[in-house]
Amino acid sequence: MPTCTALIVAAGRGSRFGGPLPKQYALLGTQPVLRHTLAALRVVPGIDQLRVVIAAGDEGHYQVAAEGYDLPPPILGGPSRQLSVLNGLEALASEAPDLVAIHDAARPFVRAADIAACLEAVTAHGVDGAVLGIPLADTLKRVTSSNAISETVRRDNLWRAQTPQIFRFEPLLRAHRDAAALGATEATALTDDAAVAERAGLKVVMVAGSGDNTKITTAEDLQRATTMETRTAFGFDVHGFTSGAAVMLGGVSIPHIQALGGHSDADVGLHALTDAILGTIGAGDIGLHFPPSDPQWRGVSSDRFLKHALGLLAERGGRVIHLDLTLICEAPRIGPHREAMVDSIARIAGIGRNRVSVKATTTEGLGFTGRREGIAAQAVATVEVPRS
C-alpha cells in the first residue's frame, strides 16, 4: 500500500465570499467548513496523514477548526494558491510520501468512496495523477466582451475538475518547483495542480466523482449547503393574581381588576414562549437564565427574556418558524386584545404576524383558573436550526 498524505489548501482569503472570515473558517451548521473537510478526509482508508496549508495570521481560526484532531502543525501558504501548494509539498519533501492528495478546504462534501477510486486510479501503471471531476452536462458558450455568443463549444470529452487531485509525490514536487519559476502571466493560467502536472508532461487521468462535491465560494453557497432541521418545543407557565389594575399578557398591558404577581412583570404568555424557545435548543428553562430569587429581574419587562432566548437560538444559526400561545383564564377577556398581542410577539421575535398565533380558552370554571386565582399559558415554538 503506497503512503499518502492529504494536503488541504486553506490559505485562500476568499475575496468572493465576503464576510468577516475566509470561507474555510465560516460555520457550516455549527462547525467551520474546514472541520467538515478534515472530518471527511480523516476516515478515508489509504490516506495516512492530513496536513493543512493556512495563511499567516489564521492560526487561531485553524486551531478552532482542527481542535482535537491531533494533526501535525499547519504549513504557512504563499502569495498564490500555486505557491501555497508548493510550500506544502516542500514541507513534506523530507518524509516524501508515495502520493499526495491535494484538496480544497472549501470542498467539505467529498465522498470517501470517490477518493478511494481516485487513489486506485493513480496507482495504475504509467499514471502520475488522478483528478476527481464530473463530465460537463451544460452547453458551453464562448462570448465576446459584450456577451454576444461567438461560438458554441462542443462539450464532448469536457470535464469539470474538482479536488482531491492525487499525484505521485516526487514528480509533482518537481513540476511545482519548475512552475514557480514561471512569469506571472504563465503562472496564472495554471489554475489547479493538474495543470501544473500537465505542463510538466505528467500523465493525469480524470475519475468520475459526484456533483455533491461542490466548492463553497460565496456566502450563498454556504447557506444552501447548510442542512436545517425543524424542532418543536413546549412551554408552560402560571402566575397568580394579586392586587392591581392591569395584567401584562404577550407584552400588552390589559386593564383588569387585578394584576399578576411573581417573577418580573409576570407576563405568563411571554414566559411560556421563552421556555418553548429554550426548549427547541435544549438550553434549560427561564428560571435557569433568570432566577426568580435574583432581585434584578423584579418588575422587569418580560420581552427581555424572550429576546434572550431568541438570541441563543440565533447564535446557533436558528430561526423561528412559528409561535403558538394559548392563554387559559376566565378573565380578563383575551379576544379584544388578541391582535395587539400578535403584533407585540411578532415585533419582539422579529417575525411576520403570519407566524404568530394567540389563542384563549377557559377551564369552564374548574380548577385554579376557573376560580380566577391566576392565569396559565401554554406555548409551542417551532424553529429551524442547522443540523449538527
Question: Which of 198, 215, 254, 151 lies closest to 23, judged by CA?
Answer: 215
Least distance CB 274 / Mg ion (angstroms): 9
* Residue number with CB closer to Mg ion (358 or 375): 375
Shortest approach of Mg ion to residue 331 CB, angstroms? 19
Task: Provide, rounded to whole angstroms, the least separation between the CB of residue 262 and Mg ion.
Answer: 6
Q: CA-to-CA distance for 163 and 203, rounded, in angstroms?
A: 17
Task: Pick between residue 133 and residue 332 the one whose CB is nearest to Mg ion.
Answer: 332
Cell matching residue 151: 461560438
Cα dist from 33 to 302, 331, 337, whole Å: 37, 53, 47
The rounded distance, in Å, linking the Cα atoms of 75 and 52 is 6
User: How many other CB atoms are there within 10 angstroms of residue 31's CB atom?
Assistant: 16
Nearer to Mg ion, 36 or 263 (CB): 263
> Least separation, in Å, of the C-beta of 367 and Mg ion?
18
- Nearest distance from residue 71's CB to Mg ion, in Å? 48
Which run of H or of E encompasses 253? strand 252-255
SS3 309: helix
Name the residue with the smallest CB distance to Mg ion: 271
Taking the least distance from each CB to Mg ion, the nearer of 51 and 239 is: 239
Rounded-to-integer distance, Cα 279 and Cα 287, Å:
13
Q: What are phi and psi of 381, to 5 degrees?
A: -110, 135
Rounded Cα distance between 99 and 162, Å, is 18
For residue 332, whether the previous peptide bond is cis, meaning omega lies within 30 degrees of 0, is yes
In angstroms, give the least distance from the CB of 113 to Mg ion. Answer: 53
Shorter beta-carbon distance to Mg ion: residue 38 or 270: 270
What residue ranges bind Mg ion (CB under 5 A)? Answer: 237, 263, 271
Cβ 239 to Mg ion, closest distance in Å?
6
Measured from the CB atom, is 170 or 285 closer to Mg ion?
A: 285
Longest dimension (CA), the chain: 91
Task: Provide, rounded to whole angstroms, the least separation between the CB of residue 237 and Mg ion.
Answer: 4
Count Cα neighbours of 290 within 13 Å in the Cβ-side half-sphere: 24
CB 11 within 8 A of CB 84: yes
Number of other CB atoms surrounding residue 183 within 10 Å? 7
Pick 78 or 262: Cβ nearer Mg ion: 262
Closest to Mg ion by CB, 30 or 242:
242
How many helices (DSSP H) and strands (DSSP E) are in the chain? Answer: 13, 18
